[in-house]
Amino acid sequence: MTDDTDAGIVVRDTADLPRFGGGEFASQIVADETVGVENVSVGVVTFEPGAEGSRHVREVEEIVYVLEGEAEIVTDEETHGLTAGQAAVIPPGVHHRHVNVGSGPLRKLWIFAPQGPEEAIRDREVQES
């Protein structure tokens, strides 16, 4: 990790960040209060082919941006397909789950506004690099 605090800029390399999760998917927290960010948290999650997250709901805005692969976001009412370069905004209170429907890894950038859900991510098992 490079930390350029003279300019007020913090540069983080995901290769150096812990991976939280187990089995078929893991998240890395890129920016939150630990690096001086207020009001939002940002991270990257990687799903192995065929992996899907459990149904959950957040009380904050959740934004996901697909960096690589093919995803579905499944709600109680509908399914939205996303590919690299597409984003989805999930309002607070919407039950949903994320699924890798592609043949390769799915990598997504996530943003929570305001902060909060990253605490549950930190509670997950830490994977070895």
Domain that holds residue 13: 2-127
The number of folded domains in the chain is: 1
The pLDDT profile of the chain, 129 residues, written as one tens digit per residue, is: 444 445 688 999 999 999 999 779 999 999 999 898 999 999 999 999 999 999 999 999 999 999 999 999 999 999 999 999 999 999 999 999 999 999 999 999 999 999 988 888 888 888 765
* Helices (H), ranges, the chain: 118-122
pTM of the model: 0.87
Q: Can you give the pLDDT at residue 39?
A: 92
Phi/psi of residue 14, each to 5°? -60, -20
- Letter for the amino acid at 97? R
Predicted local distance difference test score (pLDDT) of residue 66:
98
**CA dist., res. 7 & res. 4, Å (int):** 6
E strands, the chain, in order: 2-4, 9-11, 19-22, 25-31, 41-47, 61-68, 70-75, 79-83, 87-90, 96-100, 106-113, 126-127
CATH number where 82 lies: 2.60.120.10
